[in-house]
C-alpha cells in the first residue's frame, strides 16, 4: 500500500504533467464531472483535478518528511541525552517535554504558522517543532534501560567516552525504535499539514492536497455537488496516512520491547 502511494506520487506527475498556468477558457470547462479527458473532473478554474492531485501528493509527502525529520532528530536527540545522563539533565528535559506534550498541538501549529508566514518551509518547521515530545519519551525510557545493561557498563569500564558509547552502542540499539516511531510521526505530520493547508495556512503556490481541499471548500464546490474535487485529494490523504500508520504499527509491534510479548 505504501509502495503504491510512493509510486503514484513519484512517477505520476512525469506521465501526467500538471500545468498550473493552464486554466479553463469557457464556462463549461469549470467544475466538470469526471470524463475521459479529465479523469477526475476539473476545478473551479477549469484545471484538471487528477493531475493536480498527483503533484499535490508530492508536496504533502515532502512537508510530512521534512517535518518528521526535524521531529525525530529533536526527539531522539533529547531522549538520548535525557535517558543517558539521567540526573538533573533528565529532570529538566523531561519537564520541558511534558510541557510540550500537554500543549494542544494543532492550535499551537496554527498560531506559529499564522505568526511566521505561509511557505512549505515554515510549515515543515512548525510541525517538526511540535511533534517531537512523544518520540523523546519513548526513546528516553528505552535508553534508561539500555544504559544499565552489562554491555554498556563493560564498554565504560574499558574507558569509552560518553559520546562514543552513545553513538556506537546505544544509538544502534534504539535505531529500530526510532524507525517505528518515524512512520507514526510521519502519518501525524501529513495529517497536521493537511489541516493547516485546509485552514488556509498552507503555501498558496505549492499546492498540496490540503490546499486543494481548501480551494474546493471555499469555491463552493461542495454545494455544486462537485464530489470529485473533494474526494480525490481527501482519499489521497487518508490512504497516505493509513499506509504510514500501518507500517508504523507493525514495526512497533515487532520492535517495541514493551509490546513484543503481546499476542
User: How near is the Cβ of 242 to other proteins at its closest, in Å?
Assistant: 4
Among 151, 171, 199, 255, binds other proteins (CB under 8 A): 199
Residue 42, phi then psi, degrees to nearest 5: -125, 165
With respect to other proteins, which residue has the nearer C-beta, 52 or 146? 52
Tell whether residue 215 is a contact of other proteins (CB under 8 A). Answer: no
Cell of 27: 464556462
Tell whether residue 27 is a contact of other proteins (CB under 8 A). Answer: no
User: How near is the Cβ of 227 to other proteins at its closest, in Å?
Assistant: 6
Tell whether residue 8 is a contact of other proteins (CB under 8 A). Answer: no
Segment contacting other proteins by CB under 8 A, of 27-35, 38-46, 114-122, 161-169: 114-122
Please give the angle made by the CA atoms of 221, 227 and 229, to the nearest 5 degrees. Answer: 65
Going by C-alpha positions, the residue among 70, 93, 197, 214 that lies closest to residue 143 is 93
Tell whether residue 34 is a contact of other proteins (CB under 8 A). Answer: no
Tell whether residue 62 is a contact of other proteins (CB under 8 A). Answer: no
Tell me how far apart the alpha carbons of residues 245 and 243 are, in angstroms, rounded to a whole number.
6
Among 11, 116, 167, 168, binds other proteins (CB under 8 A): 116
Segment contacting other proteins by CB under 8 A, of 27-35, 80-88, 101-109, 156-164: 101-109
Tell me how far apart the alpha carbons of residues 205 and 130 are, in angstroms, rounded to a whole number.
24
Give Cα 145 distance to the centre of its chain. Answer: 29
Angle of helix 133-146 versus helix 171-196 axis, rounded to 10: 170
Tell whether residue 158 is a contact of other proteins (CB under 8 A). Answer: no
Tell me how far apart the alpha carbons of residues 260 and 249 are, in angstroms, rounded to a whole number.
12
Among 65, 144, 171, 238, binds other proteins (CB under 8 A): 238
Going by C-alpha positions, the residue among 246, 214, 177, 180 that lies closest to residue 60 is 214
Segment contacting other proteins by CB under 8 A, of 74-82, 123-131, 138-146, 197-205: 197-205
Amino acid at each position: 500500500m505504501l509502495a503504491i502511494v510512493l509510486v503514484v506520487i513519484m512517477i505520476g506527475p512525469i506521465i501526467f504533467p500538471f500545468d498550473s498556468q493552464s486554466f479553463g477558457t469557457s464556462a463549461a470547462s469549470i467544475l466538470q464531472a469526471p470524463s475521459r479527458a479529465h479523469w477526475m473532473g476539473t476545478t473551479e478554474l477549469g484545471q484538471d483535478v487528477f493531475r493536480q492531485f498527483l503533484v499535490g501528493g508530492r508536496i504533502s509527502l515532502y512537508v510530512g518528511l521534512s517535518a518528521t525529520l526535524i521531529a525525530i532528530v529533536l526527539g531522539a536527540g533529547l531522549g538520548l541525552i535525557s535517558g543517558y545522563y539521567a540526573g538533573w539533565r533528565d529532570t529538566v528535559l523531561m519537564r520541558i517535554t511534558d510541557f510540550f506534550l500537554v500543549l494542544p498541538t494543532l492550535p499551537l501549529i496554527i498560531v506559529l504558522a499564522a505568526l511566521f508566514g505561509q511557505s512549505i518551509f515554515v510549515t515543515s518547521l512548525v510541525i517538526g517543532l511540535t511533534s517531537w515530545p512523544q518520540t523523546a519519551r519513548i526513546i528516553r525510557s528505552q535508553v534508561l534501560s539500555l544504559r544499565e545493561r552489562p554491555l554498556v557498563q563493560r564498554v565504560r569500564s574499558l574507558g569509552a567516552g560518553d559520546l562514543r558509547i552513545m553513538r556506537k552502542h546505544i544509538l544502534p540499539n534504539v535505531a529500530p525504535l526510532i524507525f517505528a516511531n518515524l512512520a507514526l510521526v510521519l502519518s501525524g505530520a501529513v495529517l497536521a499539514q493537511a489541516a493547516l493547508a485546509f485552514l488556509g495556512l498552507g503555501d498558496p503556490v505549492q499546492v498540496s492536497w490540503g490546499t486543494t481541499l481548501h480551494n474546493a471548500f471555499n469555491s463552493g464546490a461542495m454545494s455544486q455537488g462537485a464530489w470529485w474535487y473533494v474526494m480525490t485529494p481527501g482519499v489521497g490523504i487518508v490512504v497516505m496516512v493509513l499506509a504510514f500508520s500501518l507500517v508504523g504499527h507493525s514495526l512497533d509491534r515487532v520492535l517495541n520491547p514493551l509490546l513484543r510479548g503481546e499476542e
